[in-house]
Structure 1
Amino acid sequence: MSRARERAATGPPVRPRGWAHRHRALLIAVVVVLVGAVLVGLKPWESCGTGLSAVDADEESVGSSYVCVGLNLDSGPLRDDDPLDPLEKLIKARNDAAGENFKTIVVLENLAPDPKVDSQPFLFVRREIQGAITAAWPKNGPPGIKLLLANYGSNADHWRVVADEIIAAAAAQRIVAVTDIGTSSENSRALVAELSQHGIASIGATVTADNMNTDPKGSRIDNFFRVGPTNTDEARAAAGYISAHGFRRVMMIQGVSKEDTYATTLAEAFKSASKVPVIFTKTYDVKPLADTSREAYLRGLFSRWHNDICGAKPDLIYFAGRGLDLGALVAALAGDGACEGLDSVTVMTGDDASTLAGNPLPLDKDIAVRLRYTALAYPDQWDMFTADPAYPTYKKNYDNFIAEFTGTHGFPKGELWDGAAMIEHDAVAAAVEAAVQNVSADPVSVPNVLRGIDCNSSVPGATGFVAFDQATGNQLDKALPILSIAPDGSVHPVDLVWSRGRPLNTAPDCGR
């Protein structure tokens, strides 16, 4: 057969079909998914990193339609335009340089707080992470330390996701401890109980509710420790201040949400510790509302109490609630008219009031308010302690922290005023000490090492020496600054007291 006839018989050469034609079914499926996603408002190309899951968020509040919850194994962004991005990149660079013989410390918080529902502001959270970085990577610190951030979302609603991710990663990441824990709530309490069941240690920084070291059934959480005070410590300090300054008519305003163990245990502790009878109590509960913010709702509620407060004529109101809620009370006292016979009142509360500081407050309006609170820490707090023989040692430890915070890492000293960086630094410092002292990389071996951080083997910190009570896991002899907030939002020291009446020492009773 001639070539011409051969070509005529066989036809032109067969060209391979294009990719779209060959994968037509797949292409149609992808288009259907994408169109459907657009129609329901989803963005399937948005993805969270390893160890994270995306949950819906209020874009108006947090600037993103989604937030990533879980354990941030890649140290990547947790939402659109994540304001933590510079710190996450710093953490990733340090982690990448940790080498193969590393150990990991987790910082657990609500890392994308929603101002409509959450009481803890973002800037407080950012400063906690700065403190963690300072403790993990001092200039001449031990090699091989990693930090990972974990986000459990608003009200720790996604605590189960976080717990599962931490437990799954514990062995491979050689997790030493989970630090911070965020705010005291039933969810955060359930989380540390779950971690403890798997042998993983937690070191609370800002969780002060007395029952944080017991599980929801009331049993001791064996592997929970904390460097901050308990609410009993804070209430005892407040009661002493109230008695010493001659207050006689004390009213209490108390949050009673079952989820918010900070407020409920603070109220219980104050009632037990107060040397002055509480003449009158008002309670409130807050649930997430679809049509208004928490602050706006409470502003209206507290306004309705104006006549009750005027009638009681307290010289001091003890506020057992969140700082955000206290701001609503101050606004109500300022703007709802004067009271006959009640021109001014002192309002005293716990450490969550630090979330109010830094912003102007109407403290000198219709009813003038003198605002006091027991704080977790305060920069230069040791300047109120100069007469004590132990002062030089505590001051030296604090100065070392300042050198690392401002010098090694370049964070501004002005970031320290609310104590967030200081207290989280001490939680991570305790975890670093456990990592260094422990011969094992198995996470279940860590709690025994942490129990060894006692009054005879304490860890120097920015807020004092860290030592754990063997029976409870609580901090021994925590220093508590009493602070005031001025109308311009500035914070000023008033006093420095000790949770057990004196500084930690190495006497035979170990300061008990």
Structure 2
Amino acid sequence: MAGGMGTWVREHVWEIPLRRYLSLLLAAVLVAGGVFGVRALTHDDRRCAPGVSRPAGSDECVGVATGVYDFGQPRFHQVVEAIGRENKGLRGGGYVTVALMLPFTSTSPTNLNDIEHQLQGAYLAQYSANHDSNGQSPRIRLVLANSGTGKDSWRPTVDQLEGMTRSADRLRAVAGIGQSTDPNQAAVAALTGHGIPVIGSSITADELANGQHGKKPDPYPGLARVAPTNTDEARALASYTKATADKANENKAMLVYDKPGDPYTNSLKESFIALMNGSPYQPVLEQPFTPPADRSQEGTTANTFRQITNIVCDTPRDTRTILFAGRHTQLRQFVNALGDRGCMDRSFQVLTGDEASYLTYEKELDRDALRHNLSVLFTSLAHPDAWLQNPPKTGGATADYQTLQRLLKAASHKPAGPIGPVALDDGQLIIGYDALQLAVHGIREAVPEGRSIPALADVGLQWPQVKGSLKVAGASGWICLDEHGNPYDKAVPIVRLTPQGDSQFVQLAWPEGKPPGKDCLPPA
């Protein structure tokens, strides 16, 4: 009995700690599992919204938003909700998808103004296509594709868009793109390489156009553009300056340019060099500056521009024109430096490209500089007054712009709107509207007889036919495309930046020196 009792005691004495040990071990496993699960939910779930996620190593939400998602930008919310309502009303299989591809997660206030206005314009074109086209098909679904702000952040978005061409989304075109940057150039090459038609809204660099410098075949098959190339903008500017130059007084010009440059600034520089040959402006000096790789950043170029401003004052007194080939951040720094120049008694005129439109909303711009013998004139992509002040008989029409005005009025309230506060001075809403109009035109012209949905490959084939009676009556002017998808003799508004903070329309200019004929047929 004693031996039995001893055995029982030993067994049960050890059993109690063993049970406790197992209980503690199990609890530890459960806690660890819970912590792991929480970490997995909070750190490894990289989804931002349907179709949008954060790639590994990045906190930026990129991809194609297939639902109502504003990419964390409250300023987009109202227009994104309006797009969501419009998309929700599309029933059955009678629609195709168009993606608006822009860097929706940009942190630059001036870039966000541009993006917001293009987004509003694209939506207005979508709404008009679905409600004001006498039941034409297919109807249009609009989605937002974020290309991101990193060097390669566009890649997962482009891969996703390619997949949407083969799914029930029926993606048939990508519009927008944004600035003429190296990443955007790579994205356009990838999209068109997948056979996806692209409609550039505000890309102007010659390097992002087909048919340049005799290059064959076209590097971007299926690319169409609403905006003229930098070369065409410079030609339009040259025609304006020749008509307005003071023939009695020689005017020498100084070229200030971005070195090493990007697709936009390089082609603008080359265009300005060509402009000076045979123009009223005789070259006197070229002065480079080197901005940060991300040209939306301040860097140290303000110091460089202080030095360049001293050189400006050292030029001969008949040097009155400065040709500026740079981005808007550097242009703002340069204008601010000129506002504090040592030769305030001398008058200077800065001529530059369409990037100057960003300065309309630039809070850091020293507007007082524009009150002291300094003017800034630039080629804009569009302007709300261009077709309201004694417009020419061809190249565009007041009625086409008034169509957009009626849409804006309708979009101030439901069912079409609201779409948030709108602004037209920078031309971005107008050009965003026209880009999607061109996309809709190409899609509907590609629909074969007896069908309602076009083949993807057929949409990009429509661009060479966009001329004559098949031109697009854009709010920015007629869109007549050459065989390479570039607009022919597109209206170019010459605009002045004012001290009051807006953009004042001066007059229309034309790459060919005059408006196109009524048939709007590019030469063979």
Q: Which amino acid aligns with 2:163?
A: A
Deviation at 1:67, TM superposition (A): 2.8
Match of 1:315 in 2: 320
Q: Taking structure 1 as reference, are residues 46 and 406 closer, same or farther at Cα in structure 2, changes over 3 Å only? A: farther
Q: Does 1:102 align with 2:123?
A: no
What does residue 424 of structure 1 align with? 432
More displaced, 413-422 or 261-270? 413-422
Partner of residue 491, structure 2: 479
Task: Point out where structure 1 has 5 or more consecutive residues left out of the alignment.
Answer: 1-19, 58-64
* 8 Å Cα contact 2:63/2:147 also seen in 1: yes
Shift of 1:333: 1.3
Change (3 A) 1:219 1:156: farther
Provide the C-alpha distance between the structure 2 equivalents of 1:55 and 1:176, rounded to a whole number of angstroms: 25
Q: Which moves more between the two structures, 142-151 or 315-324?
A: 142-151
Post-superposition offset of 1:266 = 0.6
Match of 1:121 in 2: 111
Q: Is the 8 A contact 1:346 1:372 kept in 2?
A: yes
Q: Per the alignment, do residues 236 and 215 of structure 1 end up closer, same or farther by CA in structure 2, a change over 3 Å counting?
A: closer
Closer, same or farther in 2 for the Cα pair 1:461/1:306, shift >3 Å? closer
- Say whether the 8 Å CA contact 2:122–2:433 is kept in structure 1: yes
Whether 1:497 and 2:514 are equivalent positions in the alignment is no
2:405 is matched with which residue: 398, 402, 407?
Answer: 402
Deviation at 1:24, TM superposition (A): 7.5
- What fraction of aligned residue pairs are identical, expressed as a percent? 27
| Aligned equivalent of 1:132 | 122
RMSD: 3.2
2:51, 2:63 within 8 Å by CA — same for their partners in 1?
yes
CA contact (8 A) 2:367 2:500 kept: no
In 2, are the aligned partners of 1:206 and 1:423 still within 8 Å (CA)? yes
The question of 1:187 aligning with 2:157 is answered no
CA distance in 1, matches of 2:89, 2:159: 27
Please give the alpha-carbon distance, in whole angstroms, between the structure 2 residues aligned to 1:48 and 1:511: 49
Max radius of gyration: which structure? 2
Q: Deviations over 1:263-297 (max 9, x none)?
A: 110110111122223211111232358xx982352
Q: Deviation per CA, 1:61-117: give whole Å up to 9, x if none.
A: xxxx943112222342423x64322222222221121122211111111112222xx
Residue number in structure 2 paired with 1:48: 48
What letter matches 2:157 in structure 1? V
Code of the aligned partner of 1:130: Q
Residue identity opposite 1:497 in structure 2: A
Residue 163 of structure 2 is matched in structure 1 by 168
Greater CA drift, 125-134 or 88-97? 88-97
TM-score, length of structure 2 as denominator length: 0.81
Aligned counterparts, 1:464-475, within 5 A: 464-470=477-483, 472-475=484-487
**Contact persistence 2:291–2:330 (CA under 8 A):** no
Name the structure 1 match of 2:467.
454
User: Which residue of structure 1 aligns with residue 330 of structure 2?
Assistant: 325
After TM superposition, give the deviation of residue 198 of structure 1 in Å. Answer: 1.5
1: distance between equivalents of 2:296 and 2:179?
Answer: 19
CA contact (8 A) 1:131 1:405 kept: no
Structure 1 distance, partners of 2:74, 2:421, is 23
State the secondary structure of the residue aligned to 1:499.
coil
Q: Residue 415 of structure 1 is aligned with which of 414, 423, 440?
A: 423
Match of 2:10 in 1: none
- Equivalent of 1:349 in 338, 349, 352: 352
Q: Give yes or no for contact 2:481–2:522 (8 Å, CA) kept in 1.
A: no
Instruction: For residue 248 of structure 1, report the CA deviation from its aligned partner.
Output: 1.2
Name the CA distance, whole Å, in 1 between partners of 2:292 and 2:335: 21
Q: In structure 2, what is the equivalent of residue 264 of structure 1?
A: 266
Asked if structure 2 preserves the Cα contact closer than 8 Å seen for 1:108 and 1:152, the reply is yes
Cα separation, 1, equivalents of 2:520 and 2:112: 43
TM-fit CA distance, 1:369 = 1.6
**Structure-1-length-normalised TM-score:** 0.83
For 1:191, the aligned partner's letter is A
Q: For residue 231 of structure 1, what is the aligned residue in structure 2?
A: 230
State the match for 1:16 in structure 2.
none
The 3-state SS of whatever aligns with 2:91 is coil
Alignment partners' CA distance in 2, 1:33 and 1:285: 49
Q: Which residue of 2 aligns with 1:435?
A: 443
CA contact (8 A) 1:303 1:332 kept: yes
8 A Cα contact 1:317 1:346, kept in partner: yes
2:60 to 44, 47, 67: 67
Q: Distance in 1 between matches of 2:146 and 2:90?
A: 23
**Between 227-236 and 68-77, the greater mean CA deviation after superposition:** 68-77
Displacement of 1:315 in angstroms is 0.4
Following superposition, the deviation at residue 416 of structure 1 comes to: 1.1
8 A contact 1:349–1:372 mirrored in 2 = yes
Contact 1:346-1:371 at 8 Å conserved across structures: yes
Whole-Å separation in 2 of the counterparts to 1:224 and 1:325: 29
SS in 2 for 1:339: coil
CA–CA separation in structure 2 for the residues paired with 1:398 and 1:390: 14
State the 1:125 CA deviation: 0.8
Letter in 2 for 1:201: P
1:203 equivalent among 191, 199, 212:
199
Q: Do 1:455 and 1:504's aligned partners in 2 also have CA atoms closer than 8 Å?
A: no
Asked whether the 8 Å contact 2:425–2:502 carries over to 1, the reply is: no
1:164 deviates by 0.9
- SS for the counterpart of 1:484 is strand
Closer/same/farther in 2, CA of residues 107 and 183 from structure 1, 3 Å limit: same
Q: 2:211 & 2:292 partners in 1: Cα distance?
A: 23
